[in-house]
Structure 1
């Protein structure tokens, strides 16, 4: 899969993916992303005018915490998820 850069504002997080967020994990990821960049892209699927998060909630939240407006992602097919 090829990495793409997506605006965070265009990503919808479905209720089923809004699991309790571990603040310590988000902080650790944010520190890592600030030091070396985002190593693992999140997974999203296209949905009309936006993207739906499939995997990577903590990475997404870490990018938001850093004030990022975009995130590295991989596009997946909806049929698989």
Structure 2
């Protein structure tokens, strides 16, 4: 079972390929929603040494950053072995 944890935002690495999909308007709308209702859905991360790599939730992460938050609710997932 995946467990929700609070993790430091500054330890989350966003791959360049994923960052290119960022939509500022969507991030702003999410920031407003988070201010009113809090973060409803955790982002998904995988561990990579002393950092976490973003799997899902770029707009939520950037919305929290824009609000000055230092922690993000996240679930850790295992990397797929190929």
Following the alignment from structure 1 to structure 2, what is the Cα–Cα distance between the partners of residues 25 and 68? 18
Residue number in structure 1 paired with 2:30 = 29
1:12-70 deviation digits (Å, cap 9, x = unpaired): 11122112321111011001111110001100000111100001110000000000000
Q: Does 1:65 align with 2:75?
A: no
How many Å separate the matches in 2 of 1:27 and 1:71?
17
Q: Secondary structure at the match of 1:16?
A: helix
Q: Hey, what does 2:21 align to over in structure 1?
A: 20
Tell me, which stretches of 5 or more residues in structure 2 are unaligned? Answer: none
Alignment length (residue pairs): 80
TM-score (norm 1): 0.93
Unaligned 5+ segments in structure 1 are: none
> What's the Cα RMSD here?
1.1
Q: Segments of 4+ in structure 1 off by > 4 A?
A: none
Taking the aligned partners of 1:32 and 1:71, their CA distance within structure 2 comes to 15
